[in-house]
Amino acid sequence: MGRARKKGQNITGWLVLDKPLGLSSTQALGKARWLLNAKKAGHAGTLDPLATGVLPLAFGEATKTISFMMEAQKTYEFTIRWGQSTTTLDSEGEVVANSGMRPERAAIEAALSEFIGDIEQIPPAFSAIKVDGKRAYTLARAGKDVVLKSRNVRIDALTLLAMPDADHAVFMVECGKGTYVRSLMRDLAMALGTEGHVVHLRRTQVGPFKAANAISLTTLEALAAKDEAMNTLAPLAVSLAHLPALSISVAETEDVRHGRTVPLGAGRAFDDKAMIYTHFEGEPVAIGMKDGVYFKPVRVFNRH
């Protein structure tokens, strides 16, 4: 017998989840998907179990725009505990080095400028990056030596927010795709001549999605019990707001839905490399690109 089809509703939209401490992103997605009884779902940007905050969840046709949210700028607040480094670079790991050095405010603020802009960063050994087909954290937990290549990441802002005591410092960072806060912490501690690890990490923004508008699993569960969970969904178009938009007619909408090109129209200048999205009366129809004087669909959205 063949596999049974997955059950669930065909719903479309975005849920801005405030991921709780202790759950993986996949577990949080699974819980939200169950509460909404959604047939198709995905998340944009993994958060470690020890991290909390904004985890954008896409449902239905919105899953086709996850890649745009993966590319979006992200904002985190994190706390460093000076004087100890751990295997995982956070409080989950074992202490592997100690230091009596506690950096002062002036030294910290002077060092921050080294980490602004495009920088090279080596991801943590305990990360989801694949090495020879296996997750790095799986190899690291098995006691294997994990050697990861450095990668270029973008840091747009790094600010010292507070120093509650000599052992701790609180920071805010605005960064691009692929940035590891734990690696940033490791390199900052090294630049300051000390050891450190992350004891608190919270993501406060992913593109247009902010913590102020995020909903907890507890609240979602309460709303689901009243059959009001669907009211938490933001429209698919939210994840396309940063793209150039092209309004099309009813006839053009049918052409695009069947994969055919349509004219860009006079007076509209679109970059040859930029992605464009078409819509009919505000409802997204497809994502595509300029092909001469035509719009060429790449990803078409089904009606919902």
Per-residue pLDDT reduced to its tens digit, 144-195: 666 678 889 999 999 999 999 999 999 999 999 989 999 999 999 999 999 9
More confident residue, 243 or 158: 158
Q: Is 4 a residue whose pLDDT tops 60?
A: no
Single out the residue of 261, 224, 233 nearest to residue 246, CA to CA. 261
pLDDT interval class at 134 (50, 70, 90)? low
| pLDDT for the residue numbered 1 | 39
What is the rounded average pLDDT of the residues 191-216?
Answer: 97
At 181 the three-state DSSP class reads helix
One-letter amino acid at 138 equals: T
- CATH, range 243-300: 2.30.130.10
Q: Which residues pair with 141 in a beta bridge?
A: none
| pLDDT for the residue numbered 131 | 65
Fold of 74-206: Pseudouridine synthase (3.30.2350)
* Domain limits, the chain: 13-72+209-237, 74-206, 243-300
| pLDDT for the residue numbered 5 | 45
Q: Is 127 a residue whose pLDDT tops 70?
A: no
Task: Give the β-pairing of 209-210 and 84-86.
Answer: unpaired
Per-residue pLDDT reduced to its tens digit, 48-76: 888 999 999 999 999 999 988 888 999 99
What is the rounded average pLDDT of the residues 224-243?
Answer: 93
Q: Is 276 a residue whose pLDDT tops 80?
A: yes
One-letter amino acid at 296 equals: K
Q: What percent of the chain has pLDDT over 90?
A: 73
Query: Which residues participate in catalysis according to the annotation?
Result: 48
Give the mean pLDDT of the chain. Answer: 90
One-letter amino acid at 192 equals: L
**Predicted model pTM:** 0.90
What is the rounded average pLDDT of the residues 280-290?
Answer: 93
Q: Is 3 a residue whose pLDDT tops 70?
A: no
Q: Do 243-300 and 13-72+209-237 have the same topology in CATH? A: no
How far is 124 from 89, CA to CA, in rounded Å? Answer: 7
- CATH, range 13-72+209-237: 3.30.2350.10
| pLDDT for the residue numbered 273 | 75
Of 29-33, 34-38, 137-141, least confident by mean pLDDT is: 137-141
Of 14-18, 36-40, 125-129, 236-240, least confident by mean pLDDT is: 125-129
Cβ neighbours of residue 79 under 8 Å, at least 6 residues apart?
Answer: 168, 169, 170, 171, 198, 199, 200, 201
Cβ neighbours of residue 228 under 8 Å, at least 6 residues apart?
Answer: none
